[in-house]
Amino acid sequence: MHDRADLLVCGDHVLPMTDGLPVLADAAVAVRGRDIVAVGPRADLERAHPGADRISGGIVLPGLVNTHGHAAMTVYRGLMDDVPLHEWLVKYVWPAEKRFTSPENVALGTELAVAEMFASGTTTFADMYFFENEVGRVCAEAGMRVLLGQAVLAFETPDAPSADASIETGAALAAKYGGHPLVSVSLALHAVYTVPPEKLRKGAAMAAKWDVPIQIHVSESRREVADCVAAHGVTPPRLLADTGVLRKGTICAHGVHLTEEDRALIRDAGAGVSLNPESNLKLGSGVPDIAALLASGMRLGLGTDGAASNNDLDLWDAVRLAALLPKGRDEDPTAVPAREAVRLATRGGAELLSMGDRIGTLEAGKRADLCVVDTSSPHMTPLFDPYAHLAYGTRGSDVVHTVVDGRVVYRDRRHATIDAAAVAARVRALAPRIAESAGLRGPARR
């Protein structure tokens, strides 16, 4: 009786994402508190756990894990599109951030991001931004699992006058959130082109001291790689290896332009890559060789990047691109099967964030992080292979329920912990000021 569940999540199909990637028909997940206590046939679990609250749908799977993003940048969604990465950063993003990235706006943008992610089945995300204490507060209150990443750059940022000050902020975050059930901490060294080698070394040493992972943008564009080789004589991954940044648990965002040697360095270090194909396509950064990355055996996950460069946080788009881009790139329809793409968004992401012992699969003893996809709509009918449906046909709006740490945060397509309409209204009120400061025409008023 001590394992009596208080929540049953039932599905026509349950995908536990355990070894072999099985499909369980007419099954359920039993949850007690924040933990999964059983996964099995629906009828058996209903008999074993009478009186439990019940939610149901077509496909039940682990919650999606967004392994790279900048949540608060939802307030800059669509600020400037269709320009190269360097121009986008220098002319538009950094000036806007200097004026508008405040604790209040970071909290606001994060609330909007969390609402968007809950509504599309994401239950964990890795963040890299400023005023990360606000991000942690919002996520703890809303019930979102998050890996905070205090951004470190060599120049003054919205929340720090220097790289050293940012690193000290990271230390305070690590101390504050140690042992928190939902909020974990990393140090986000922005990139080799914004953090000099001596600060990379210091950041790596401090992250090792605090026993937290490192996040960093790596080989996102050809210009980044060429500039690094010109300045230091090595590629970004080699520079990170030489400075101690590339180590077990390091999350390398993007990895679009990696050599075979780079891939081996990342794999052998116990690090991994967060693939962000939608952002890479939009910014013209290139197409990562996903098949080669998979073949290398390194840890891999999927990310959306920030809403300013994507422009949404729907990780299903990344799942679809992860399955489709390699097929077109290699002219091979067998490259990156649907099952592998879905694995990258769930179990793969959890392992990349060093959370595979807690989340990423549906099995007894793991945290109850999961989502439920509706399969009754015309574009999801008929259903032959649940994995193919998820990889090629699912949209964020198909998610009907989302559960984090055993808490139903999104039920019947309604938010349970965030007033999404009120948050969106506040962001719309802020947007004209941001547009005006950038010399752009403001967004349409509603």
Q: Tens digit of pLDDT for each residue in 228-277?
A: 999 999 999 999 999 999 999 999 999 999 999 999 999 999 999 999 99
* Whole-angstrom distance, CA of residue 377 vs CA of residue 374: 7
Q: Are residues 167 and 50 in the same domain?
A: no
Three-state SS at 230? helix
- Mean pLDDT, the chain, as a whole number? 95
Within a domain: 360:
no
Q: Please state, as a whole number, how many other Cβ atoms lie within 10 Å of the Cβ of residue 404.
A: 27
State both tokens at 390: 């998820």
Q: Are residues 244 and 281 in the same domain?
A: yes
* Whole-angstrom distance, CA of residue 358 vs CA of residue 284: 36
Residue 3 — pLDDT band, cuts 50, 70, 90?
Answer: confident
Q: Are residues 149 and 14 in the same domain?
A: no
Q: Are residues 179 and 273 in the same domain?
A: yes
pLDDT in tens, 188-210: 999 999 999 999 999 999 999 99
Within a domain: 440:
no
The pLDDT of 68-95, averaged and rounded, is 90
pLDDT in tens, 398-430: 999 999 999 999 999 999 999 999 999 999 999
Alpha carbon of residue 249 to chain centroid: 15
Res. 2: pLDDT tops 80: no
Within a domain: 83:
yes
Between 5 and 96, the more confident residue is 5
Distances (CA, A) of 221 to 124, 251, 315, 330: 26, 17, 22, 20
* Whole-angstrom distance, CA of residue 371 vs CA of residue 413: 11
Res. 446: pLDDT tops 70: no
* Whole-angstrom distance, CA of residue 442 vs CA of residue 435: 5
Alpha carbon of residue 39 to chain centroid: 26
Within a domain: 46:
yes
Within a domain: 358:
no
Residue that is written with structure tokens 């959370």 in the block: 355
**Domain range holding 396?**
7-62+366-415
Query: Which secondary-structure segment (H or E) carries 12?
Result: strand 7-14
Q: Are residues 56 and 127 in the same domain?
A: no
The pLDDT of 291-295, averaged and rounded, is 97
pLDDT in tens, 116-127: 999 999 999 999
Q: Are residues 182 and 299 in the same domain?
A: yes
Q: Are residues 184 and 160 in the same domain?
A: yes
Within a domain: 112:
yes
Residue 93 — pLDDT band, cuts 50, 70, 90?
Answer: confident
Residue that is written with structure tokens 């909007």 in the block: 112
> Is residue 111 within 8 Å of 418, Cβ to Cβ?
yes
* Whole-angstrom distance, CA of residue 23 vs CA of residue 27: 9
Least confidently predicted of 278-287, 314-323, 422-431, 437-446: 437-446
* Whole-angstrom distance, CA of residue 183 vs CA of residue 139: 8
Q: Are residues 30 and 127 in the same domain?
A: no
pLDDT in the model for residue 445: 39
**Structural domain tally of the chain?**
2
The pLDDT of 349-365, averaged and rounded, is 98
Q: Are residues 142 and 181 in the same domain?
A: yes
Could you give the percent of the chain with pLDDT greater than 90?
91
Query: Which residues are within 8 A (CB) of 101 and not within 5 positions of it... i.e. 6 or more apart?
Result: 72, 130, 131, 158, 159
* Whole-angstrom distance, CA of residue 414 vs CA of residue 122: 15
Within a domain: 117:
yes
Within a domain: 436:
no
Res. 292: pLDDT tops 70: yes
From 303, 330, 352, the end of a domain falls on 352
Res. 1: pLDDT tops 80: no
Q: Are residues 268 and 342 in the same domain?
A: yes
Residue in 70, 74, 49, 58 with CA at minimum distance from that of residue 26: 58
What does DSSP assign to residue 229? H
Alpha carbon of residue 161 to chain centroid: 28
Residue 184 — pLDDT band, cuts 50, 70, 90?
Answer: very high
Question: Strand 64-66 and strand 53-62: pairing?
Answer: unpaired
Supply the CATH number for residue 346's domain.
Answer: 3.20.20.140
Rg of the Cα atoms in the chain: 21
Question: Strand 145-152 and strand 122-126: pairing?
Answer: parallel
Between 265 and 90, the more confident residue is 265
Q: Are residues 334 and 394 in the same domain?
A: no
Supply the CATH number for residue 22's domain.
Answer: 2.30.40.10
Q: Are residues 290 and 307 in the same domain?
A: yes
* Whole-angstrom distance, CA of residue 81 vs CA of residue 219: 21
Residue 84 — pLDDT band, cuts 50, 70, 90?
Answer: confident
> Is residue 354 within 8 Å of 305, Cβ to Cβ?
no
